[in-house]
Amino acid sequence: MWAARLGAAIEVMFFVEAGMLLMVMPWIPNIWTHNSIVAGHVVLQAVVYSGFFRGVVSGLGLINLGLGIRAAFTYEDPK
């Protein structure tokens, strides 16, 4: 039973943390625009730096946050 509770707590923490990071990271200028992965790729920079792409990433963060909250409220101990 404790293993199930620990697994559920880890799942909730993972989804909530990932969701919060994905929601906030695209809107922090120093982190998002100084990215060495897309440096030198003009087309990829245009896509990644667009507001639409940032909104999509934030939307995925919102979905992750919702999954974490749902996992927290729907947990039941195994019988």
pLDDT at 43 over 90: yes
Using CA atoms in the order 7, 9, 12, 14, what is the torsion angle rounded to 10 degrees? -70
Exposed/middle/buried for residue 43 (C-beta within 10 Å: 0-12, 13-18, 19+): exposed
| pLDDT 10s digits, 1-38 | 888 899 999 999 999 999 999 999 999 988 888 888 88
Instruction: Please name the residue ranges forming H helices in 1-79.
Output: 2-24, 29-33, 42-48, 51-73
> 67 and 15 in contact (C-beta within 8 Å)?
yes
